[in-house]
Structure 1
Amino acid sequence: MTPGVAEQVRPVDTARTELLTVGVEEEFLLTDPATGAAVPAVHAVLERVPPELAGQVQLEFQTSQVEIGSPPGLELAALRHSLALLRSGVADAAEQAGARLVAVGTGPVPGPVPPVVDKPRYHQMVERLGLLVPSPGSNGMHVHVGVGEPDLAVEVLNHLRPWLPILHAATANSPFYEGADTDYASWRSMLWERWPSVAPTPYLESYAHYQRLIDELIATGIMLDDGMLYWYSRLSATYPTVEIRIGDVCPSLDDTILIAALCRALVATVVQEIETGRPAPQVEHHRLVGAHWRAAHDGLEGRAVDPETGDLRPAWHVLRDLFERVRPQLDRHGDLGLVTYLLGKLHSHGTGAARQRAIFDRSGQLSDVLDELARETRG
C-alpha cells in the first residue's frame, strides 16, 4: 500500500530552503458615490485604467466588481508598491467613470443586484447555482505563495488547515449588509459559503487524490471546472503556487501586507516541517467548519478555536500564537520588523469590521463608513 503524504519521511532537500515568493489578488466593489449602492460600472472603469496597469486589472464575476493582481516577488516593499499603484490607478479610473472603488467584503447598503459579467462561463454558473448567486458582489483576497512541486504543495495544504481560521478572522471586513449590522464580522463569508464548492480544504492523501476529488466534483455537477474549486487553500489553477483564499478583501494596504507576510511565513514554516518529517494534524472537518464560522462571526474581537486543542480562546491570543510559530520564517524572509509593527497597528485599530462599526457607532451613517473605506482603499 502506498503511504499517505503524512507518513512519508524524506531527508531535507536544500533546494527547497530558498525564500518563497508571494503575490496578492484583491477584489473590490464599485459603488455609487451618492448612495453607496453597488453599480455595474466595471467596463467603464477598465476603459479608463492606465495602459501600464491594464494587464494587472481584470473583470470579476459581477459587473460591480473589479480585481487587481500583483506580480509575485520576494520583497514586501515591492508588493506594497505594486498594490499601491494598482489601487490608486483603479480608484482614479472609477472616479472618472462616475463610481467609487471600495475595499469591502460585500455591499453595506441596499440597492439593485448588478448583473454578472457577460461571459458564457458566468452565465453557466448562474444557470447552475440559481438564487445562490445574487448579491452586490463578494470581494475576497487571495495570497499566492510559490511552491512549485505539486506533491509538496498538497502536503502544505494539509498542514495549513488548522491555522487558516485565525487568518480568516484577521481579514473580517463586511459587518454590514442591506443597511443593517449582520452581527457577523464577515457577512461575505456567510454568503460565499452557500456555494457548494466552498469549504475547508479536506485532508489529502496525495496529489493524485487532489486531482481525483476535482474530477469527482466536476462529474457530479458541483463545479464547471477546476477554477470553481473554492476550498480555503488550493493549488492555483494558473500559477505554481499554493493559493490561500479565506478572507475578505482588506480595507488598507497595511492589512493586506500583514496577511500576505503571515501567509508566506506560515507556508515556509510548514515546508520546513514537512522536510523534517513532521506529519500534518488530521483535524476533523466539522471542527474546521466551526472554526471558520467562529472566525466569520467574531473576527479578532471575540474568540477563536485553538488550532491544536479545539478550545475557544481570545482570538488575539491565537493570532499571537501564529505569529510566534512563524517568527523564524518572518525573520528569514526579512519581514519580522514590519510584521511586528503592522500586527501592533492591527491590534490597536481593530479589523476592518471593527473599524467600520466604530465609525457607525459615532455617526450612525453608513455613508461615513463608505467614505472611510474608500479613503483606506486608495491608501
Structure 2
Amino acid sequence: MRTVGVEEELLLVDPETGDPKALSAAALARAEHEDAGQEVFEKELYDQMLEFATRPQSGMADLHEEIVRCRKEAARHAESIGCTVAALATSPLPVSPAIGMNDRYQWMAEQYGIATREQLVCGCHVHVSVDSDEEGVAVVDRIRPWLPVLSALSANSPFWQGRDSGYRSYRSRVWGRWPSAGPTELFGSVAGYRQRVDDMVATGVILDKAMVYFDARLSERYPTVEIRVSDVCLHADTAVLVATLVRGLVETAARQWRAGVEPAGHSVSMLRLAAWRAARSGIDGELVHPATMRPAPAEEVVQALLRHVEDALADSGDLEWARESCARLLRDGNGARIQRALLERTDSLRGVVAECVRHTQA
C-alpha cells in the first residue's frame, strides 16, 4: 500500500487578540530543545508560521493520529513562548508578514517585491509514495483535472487583511502570484519533466528546483508525488480526507498508466479556470466538472471524484469512510463555511480566530 505523509503550515497567533505573532524562531528553538532528533517542525518563509511534517503512514487512522499529535505539539511549543496555533490558511485579521532573515528568503523578497511581502498563507501538502520517477510523472499528468476538487473541499481562507475576500480559498489566489505556481501542461515523460524544470531554473526567475511550485510535482527530497493545492484544513479529519482522496488519485492514475490509458488533454488555461472556480465557490456552489470542463453542482463533482477513485479506495479499505466524510463535509461545511458562520455568530474576526484555535486542536 502506498504511504502518505502530510505537511501542514499553521499560523502563530496571540491567544488574547488573535493577531499573528512573528515567533517561529522561538517556537522552533523550543521544539529542537525538547524533541531533539525528531525533525518534525520546519522553518518557513514567514516568522508567523510554523510547519510540521508527519511521518509516512500506510493507514489513515495512523495518519489522523499523527496529525492530531503534531498539532498538539505545535500548540504546546507555541504556548511556551506566549502564543498558540491556528489552522487558518489566511489570517482573518490584518497582518504585516515578517520575512525570515536567511539568504534564500531575502533573495525572494528582493526578487518578487510586494508579492513576497503579502504572501502569508498556510497550505497543506500531501506526499504519496511512487515506485519510480516514470510512475510519478505519469501520475502528475493524469491527476491534473481533479486537483481543483481538492482545493474546493479544503477551502479555509475566506478572509484577507480584515475583510471578506468573496472567495472560499483566497489562499490559492495569493499563492498563484508565484511565477512557477499553478497547473501544468502534460509532460509525457521523465525527460520532459526534467527538461521543463531545468528550463525554468535557467531563466533566472526562480532560484532553484525547489522553487518549482507546480500544483503536483515530483518531490526533490522523497520518492513521492507532492500535491500542493489544498488550504491547511481547520479540522484534522478534513486533512485526512484530502490525503485519502489524494492517495486514491495517485493509485488510480498509476493503474491507468499501466493499462495504457492516456491522460486527459485539458489545456492549462482550462485548468486555471477550474482552479479559480474552486477557490471562489468551494463546496457552496458550482465547480468545473473534471470530465466535461463544464459547470456542475459541487456535490455532483465530489461524487464524480469518489467514483473515479472508487476501486483504489475500496482496495485500501478507505471507501466507506471517504464517502461518509465527504457527505459530512458537504452537509456541515469546510473551514471557509465555518469561519463565515463564526463571524455571523460572534460579529468579530478576533472571535473567529479564537474559535478556530479551539477547532485546530479538536
Q: Which band: TM-score by shorter chain?
A: over 0.9
Q: Quick one: which amino acid aligns to residue 42 of structure 2?
A: Q
Question: For the residues of structure 2 that align with 1:328 and 1:261, how far apart are their CA atoms?
Answer: 13
User: Cα RMSD between the aligned structures?
Assistant: 1.3
SS where residue 108 of structure 1 aligns? coil
Task: Provide structure 1 residue ranges, at least 5 long, that are not aligned to the other structure.
Answer: 1-18
Question: For the residues of structure 1 that align with 2:15 and 2:256, how far apart are their CA atoms?
Answer: 49
Determine if the alignment matches structure 1 residue 347 to structure 2 residue 295: no
Among all aligned residue pairs of Structure 1 and Structure 2, give the percentage whose two residues are the same amino acid: 38
Q: Which moved more, 1:75-84 or 1:46-55?
A: 46-55
> Counterparts of 1:364-375 in structure 2 under 5 Å?
364-375=347-358
Residue 28 of structure 1 corresponds to which residue in structure 2? Answer: 10
Superposed CA deviations along residues 123-174 of structure 1, whole A, max 9, x for unmatched, are 1111111111113721100010101311121111110011111111111100
SS where residue 358 of structure 2 aligns? helix
Residue 143 of structure 1 corresponds to which residue in structure 2? Answer: 126
Residue 218 of structure 2 corresponds to which residue in structure 1? Answer: 235
Match for 1:41 among 23, 28, 42?
Answer: 23
Question: For the residues of structure 1 that align with 2:323 and 2:281, how far apart are their CA atoms?
Answer: 23
Residue 175 of structure 1 corresponds to which residue in structure 2? Answer: 158
Maintained 8 Å contact 1:106/1:136: no
Superposed CA deviations along residues 77-119 of structure 1, whole A, max 9, x for unmatched, are 11111111110011111112111201111111013x2321221
Determine if the alignment matches structure 1 residue 287 to structure 2 residue 270: yes
Q: Which moved more, 1:39-48 or 1:352-361?
A: 39-48
Maintained 8 Å contact 2:11/2:49: yes
Residue 83 of structure 1 corresponds to which residue in structure 2? Answer: 67
SS where residue 61 of structure 1 aligns? coil
Residue 344 of structure 2 corresponds to which residue in structure 1? Answer: 361
SS where residue 226 of structure 2 aligns? strand
Maintained 8 Å contact 2:99/2:117: no
Question: For the residues of structure 2 that align with 1:331 and 1:52, how far apart are their CA atoms?
Answer: 39
Residue 102 of structure 1 corresponds to which residue in structure 2? Answer: 86
Question: For the residues of structure 2 that align with 1:54 and 1:366, how far apart are their CA atoms?
Answer: 35
Superposed CA deviations along residues 308-342 of structure 1, whole A, max 9, x for unmatched, are 11110111210111012112111111212322232
- Report the CA distance shift for 1:30/1:136 in structure 2 as closer, same or farther (over 3 A): farther
Q: Quick one: which amino acid aligns to residue 117 of structure 1?
A: G
Q: Quick one: which amino acid aligns to residue 273 of structure 1?
A: Q
Maintained 8 Å contact 2:343/2:351: yes
SS where residue 359 of structure 1 aligns? helix
Q: Quick one: which amino acid aligns to residue 301 of structure 1?
A: D
> Counterparts of 1:333-344 in structure 2 under 5 Å?
333-344=316-327
> Counterparts of 1:1-379 in structure 2 under 5 Å?
19-49=1-31, 50-51=34-35, 54-111=38-95, 113-135=96-118, 137-379=120-362
Maintained 8 Å contact 1:253/1:377: yes
Maintained 8 Å contact 1:107/1:136: no
Question: For the residues of structure 1 that align with 2:184 and 2:355, how far apart are their CA atoms?
Answer: 34
SS where residue 133 of structure 1 aligns? helix
Q: Quick one: which amino acid aligns to residue 284 of structure 2?
A: E
Question: For the residues of structure 1 that align with 2:93 and 2:119, how far apart are their CA atoms?
Answer: 9
Question: For the residues of structure 2 that align with 1:61 and 1:253, how far apart are their CA atoms?
Answer: 23
Q: Quick one: which amino acid aligns to residue 173 of structure 1?
A: N
Q: TM-score, normalised by structure 1?
A: 0.92
Q: TM-score, normalised by structure 2?
A: 0.96
Question: For the residues of structure 2 that align with 1:215 and 1:325, how far apart are their CA atoms?
Answer: 33
Q: Quick one: which amino acid aligns to residue 192 of structure 2?
A: H
Question: For the residues of structure 2 that align with 1:155 and 1:136, how far apart are their CA atoms?
Answer: 31
Maintained 8 Å contact 2:185/2:267: no
SS where residue 304 of structure 1 aligns? strand
Maintained 8 Å contact 1:29/1:137: no
> How far does residue 27 in structure 1 lie from its aligned partner after superposition?
0.4
Superposed CA deviations along residues 205-259 of structure 1, whole A, max 9, x for unmatched, are 2111111111111111221111111110000111000111001100111000000
SS where residue 204 of structure 2 aligns? coil
Question: For the residues of structure 1 that align with 2:328 and 2:52, how far apart are their CA atoms?
Answer: 25
Maintained 8 Å contact 1:185/1:296: yes
SS where residue 292 of structure 1 aligns? helix
Q: Quick one: which amino acid aligns to residue 125 of structure 1?
A: M
SS where residue 205 of structure 1 aligns? coil
SS where residue 104 of structure 1 aligns? coil
Q: Quick one: which amino acid aligns to residue 215 of structure 2?
A: Y
Question: For the residues of structure 2 that align with 1:148 and 1:277, how far apart are their CA atoms?
Answer: 17
How many residues in Structure 1 have an aligned counterpart in Structure 2? Answer: 360
Ranges of 4+ aligned residues in structure 1 off by more than 3 Å: none
Task: Provide structure 2 residue ranges, at least 5 long, that are not aligned to the other structure.
Answer: none
Superposed CA deviations along residues 264-290 of structure 1, whole A, max 9, x for unmatched, are 011111111111111001101110000
Q: Quick one: which amino acid aligns to residue 21 of structure 2?
A: V
